[in-house]
Structure 1
Amino acid sequence: MTTTAWVFPGQGSQKIGMQADLENIPTAKAKLDRAEEILGWSILEVCKNEPEKLSRTLYTQPCLYAIASILADLLFAAGQNPQYVAGHSLGEYVALYAAGAYDFETGLQLVKRRGELMDAAEGGKMYALMGFDREQLQAKIDETADVVLANDNSAAQVVISGTPAAVDRVVAAVKSKRAIELNVSGAFHSHLMKEASQKFNEILDKVTFNESKIPVLANVEPTPTTHAGELKARLQQQMTGSVRWREIMDAIAANEVEKIIEVGPSQVLTGLFKRAYSKIPRSNISSMADIAAID
């Protein structure tokens, strides 16, 4: 048996047409119909015809969750089974679903509320930095109030988050090959999301988690666990905590994973694995056609 990890991308991986051929599959269509009942709007319509909505957090997160969850279902139905799962930010919700920590409807309701709260966030800024001196960056973050390392994606790619003034000071002070401002409304994965996180956790506290069938590596604690209490506690910290993706990749490699499958409409995470651990084979699943062609 090949030791495999499934990884699920987060916000930013969405694209028009990402529903691909899923709407013609009865089990997938049933989940999309159920999602419309929960959300009050159609994922299919947004994914097919409404690019402005799809780029807005309120819609992006439920769309990505539903599509990736359906792809995971179809992979299982095709006889594929991972030994580890992990997701980047929003993708962690799909990873928890795939692992059996909760059902599809519960995850979607959580993601719906998460998207609403994050969409309403104001007063923050996020920048992606590529090709920088890590020690210099960390030193500048340490001496600057109201800015944090939000996404530690790889040795050469991070995202910082905080108040606009604080983020601008760090970007101006740290030399990098490329710096890109992200199109987001708030300072996600920072202490500035504390109020939103508290409101979200009022909902999350009421959800009962199952022991997962597959070990999950969480954003805030990149060690595999199946323990229901740990999985929930880690998710409770996620909105204000950093996405420690670089460490997740290290942990996956340390557990001798032999294949990475990115489940969702992008190649972002497999791209990060390619640069960090090029010897681990990678593939991407974004449609039923991809599943049919998998080894």
Structure 2
Amino acid sequence: MIKTAWVFPGQGSQAVGMGADLLELPGAKAKFSLAEQILGWSVPQLCQGDEEKLSRTLYTQPCLYVIESILADLMRQKGHYPAVVAGHSLGEYTALYAAGVFDFETGLRLVKRRSELMDNTSGGQMVALMGFDRQQLELQIQYSQDVVLANDNSDGQVVISGKPAAVEGLLAKIKVKRAVKLNLSGAFHSPLMASAATEFQQFLKATRFSDAKVFVLSNAEPAPTTNAATLKQRLAQQMTKGVRWREICLQLPQEGVEKVIEIGPGKVLTGLIKRNSPDLELENVSTAAQVPN
């Protein structure tokens, strides 16, 4: 039996048209209907509509959570189960759902609140960097009070986050092959999210978590755990701490994982895993048709 991990993508993987093939599936219909009651708007309509609106944090996060959850359900219906789960940023919520930590509705209510708080933040900047000297970058971040490593995706690709002037100042001090400013409202995964994180924590505190049925590798701490209290604590830290995806990728083989299935739109995570842990077998499930029998 091949030991498999399921990983779930986050913001940036969304695409107009995602989930279109799920609309007529009975289980999916029920989830789309419940989501509309909770959100006050239709996930399928949003996903088939305007790209600019879909790319707004307020809508992107719930849409990804709902579609990824339905695809995870389809995987289980076909008799597939993971030994380990992980998710990139927002994807961690779907990973926790897939691990049985909370039910679909609980997860969606958490994602709804998270997306509202993050959408309301401003005054920050995030920049993706490709091709740089890691030692030089880490040294400059160490000297800067207002820039952090928000997404450590691979040795050659990271995202920095912080106050715009500080981010620009840091970029002027390092050599980088390519720097891309992300179209996001705030400095996600940085201390600048502290007020939003504090408000979210009150909401999170009232939410019941169960022990996970499989190991979870969290963004804030990639060491595997199934403990409900630990998983909740790590999720509480996620908004202000960096996504340690490179370390998660390196941890997968340590857990005996041989195959990784990315569940959700796009192939961002399998691309990163290939760079970090090239010996792992990779598969993508973005549609119902791609769910293996």
* Cα distance in 2 between the residues matched to 1:151 and 1:253: 21
Residue 216 of structure 1 corresponds to which residue in structure 2?
216
The corresponding residue for 1:247 is: 247
* Mapped partners of 1:144, 1:30: distance in 2: 49
For each residue in 1:56-111, what CA deviation from the matched residue of structure 2 results, as whole angstroms up to 9, or x when unmatched? 00000000000001000000001101000000000000000000000000000000
Which amino acid is the alignment partner of residue 274 of structure 2? Answer: K
Partner of residue 177, structure 1: 177
8 Å contact from structure 2 (residues 57, 118) kept in 1? yes
Letter in 2 for 1:149: L
1:150 and 2:146 matched: no
Which digits, 9 at most, give the CA deviation of each residue in 1:142-170, with x for residues without a partner?
A: 11121100110011111000000011111
- Partner residue in 2 for 1:81: 81
- Classify the secondary structure of the residue corresponding to 1:170: helix
Q: What is the CA–CA distance in structure 2 between the aligned matches of 1:152 and 1:112, rounded to whole Å?
A: 25
Partner AA of 2:228 in structure 1: A
> Which sits farther off after the overlay, 213-222 or 270-279?
270-279
**Counterpart secondary structure, 2:20:** coil
Tell me the residue number matched to 1:68: 68
Within 1, Cα distance between the matches of 2:50 and 2:272?
29
Question: For the residues of structure 2 that align with 1:274 and 1:20, how far apart are their CA atoms?
Answer: 28
2:139 is aligned with 1:139: yes
Aligned to 1:113: 113
For the residue of structure 2 that corresponds to 1:153, the secondary structure is strand
Match of 1:289 in 2: 289
5+ residue gaps, structure 2: none
Distance in 1 of aligned mates of 2:224 and 2:131:
29
SS at match of 2:48: helix
Identical-pair percentage: 60
SS in 2 for 1:129: strand
Q: Distance in 1 between matches of 2:20 and 2:264?
A: 11
- Deviation string 1:198-233 (CA, Å, 9 cap, x unpaired) is 011110000010011111000000011100000000
Give the TM-score, by structure 1 length: 0.98
Which amino acid in the other structure matches residue 261 of structure 2? I
Aligned residues: CA RMSD? 0.8
- 1:212-270 Cα shifts (integer Å, max 9, x gaps): 11110000000111000000000010000110000001111211211010000010000
Q: Which residue of 1 aligns with 2:193?
A: 193
- Give yes or no for contact 2:20–2:48 (8 Å, CA) kept in 1: no
In 2, distance between residues paired with 1:96 and 1:118?
20
Matched AA of 1:217: L
> Residue 265 of structure 1 aligns with which residue?
265
Q: Matched residue of 1:202: which SS?
A: helix
Unaligned runs of 5+ in 1: none
CA shift, 1:20, in A, is 3.0
- What is the match of residue 95 of structure 1? 95
Match of 1:36 in 2: 36
Instruction: Confirm or deny: 8 A CA contact 2:20 2:44 kept in the other structure.
Output: no
Cα drift, residue 28 of structure 1 = 0.6
Q: Residues of 2 paired with 1:258 and 1:120: CA distance?
A: 40
Equivalent pairs counted in the alignment come to 293
**CA–CA separation in structure 1 for the residues paired with 2:279 and 2:205:** 41
2:162 matches 1:162:
yes
Q: Aligned-pair distance for 1:52?
A: 2.1
Q: Secondary structure at the match of 1:21?
A: helix
Q: Distance in 2 between matches of 1:45 and 1:188?
A: 27
CA deviations 1:120-140 (Å, max 9, x no partner) are 100000000011101100111
Equivalent residue number for residue 18 of structure 1: 18
Which stretch has the larger CA shift, 207-216 or 271-280? 271-280
2:238 is matched with which residue? Answer: 238
Distance of 1:277 and 1:19 partners within structure 2: 29
SS in 1 for 2:172: helix
1:50: Cα distance to partner? 2.5
Match of 2:49 in 1: 49
